[in-house]
């Protein structure tokens, strides 16, 4: 079908419960976002790689935030805010390089890969936004 998802703009649809559903964000074709609701905010912890280091930070506006951080690769998003970020900083404190940067040791790389689950993190984030917005 040639429809465009009203939520995320994707053109991939699958059938679920007998209805076409966006394959990217899970929004059902025919459902309209409530225009009176504010845009959904989903806080995430992000894992950004630059060379052999990984930055673990948090943002409620990752597109804006990540555009301002020099990096080579977004490894993963994890749903959560400041508390989860602090927990991850503590978890990987052994390989901390100062601030929010950590050495990209195999354990940390594997942690991020498991979070991403082989899916583009932006695609996962879009799905979370749609879930937060679903009527
Ligand atoms: Zn969609």
Q: 81 CA to middle of ligand 1, Å?
A: 24
Q: 7 CA to middle of ligand 1, Å?
A: 5
Please report the pLDDT score of residue 135 as a whole number: 64
The ranges assigned to domains in the chain are 1-32, 44-129
Residue 75 has pLDDT above 70, yes or no: yes
Tokens 């009203």 locate to 6
Q: How would residue 1 be classed by pLDDT, with cut points 50, 70 and 90?
A: low
Q: 38 CA to middle of ligand 1, Å?
A: 18
User: Do you know the residue count of the chain?
Assistant: 135
Distance, in Å, from the CA atom of 14 to the CA atom of 28, rounded to the nearest integer, reads 10
The torsion region of residue 80 among left (phi > 0), alpha (psi -120 to 50) and beta comes to left
Residue 122 has pLDDT above 60, yes or no: yes
pLDDT digits (tens, 9 = 90+) for 42-59: 999 999 999 999 999 999
| DSSP-H helix ranges across the chain | 62-67, 82-91, 106-116, 121-133
Q: 13 CA to middle of ligand 1, Å?
A: 8
Q: 119 CA to middle of ligand 1, Å?
A: 15
Q: 21 CA to middle of ligand 1, Å?
A: 8
Q: 98 CA to middle of ligand 1, Å?
A: 38
Residues 66, 48: contact at Cβ < 8 Å?
A: yes
Q: 132 CA to middle of ligand 1, Å?
A: 13
């Amino acid at each position: 079908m040639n429809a465009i998802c009203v939520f995320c703009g994707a053109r991939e649809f699958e059938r679920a419960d007998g209805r076409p559903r966006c394959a990217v964000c899970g929004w059902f074709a025919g459902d309209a976002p409530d225009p009176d609701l504010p845009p959904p905010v989903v806080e995430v912890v992000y894992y950004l790689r630059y060379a052999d280091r990984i930055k673990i930070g948090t943002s409620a506006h990752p597109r804006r935030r990540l555009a301002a951080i020099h990096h080579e690769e977004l490894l993963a998003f994890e749903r959560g805010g400041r508390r989860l970020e602090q927990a991850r900083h503590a978890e990987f404190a052994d390989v901390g390089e100062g601030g929010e940067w950590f050495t990209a040791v195999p354990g940390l790389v594997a942690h991020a890969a498991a979070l991403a689950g082989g899916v583009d993190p932006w695609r996962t984030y879009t799905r979370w936004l749609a879930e937060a917005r679903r009527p």
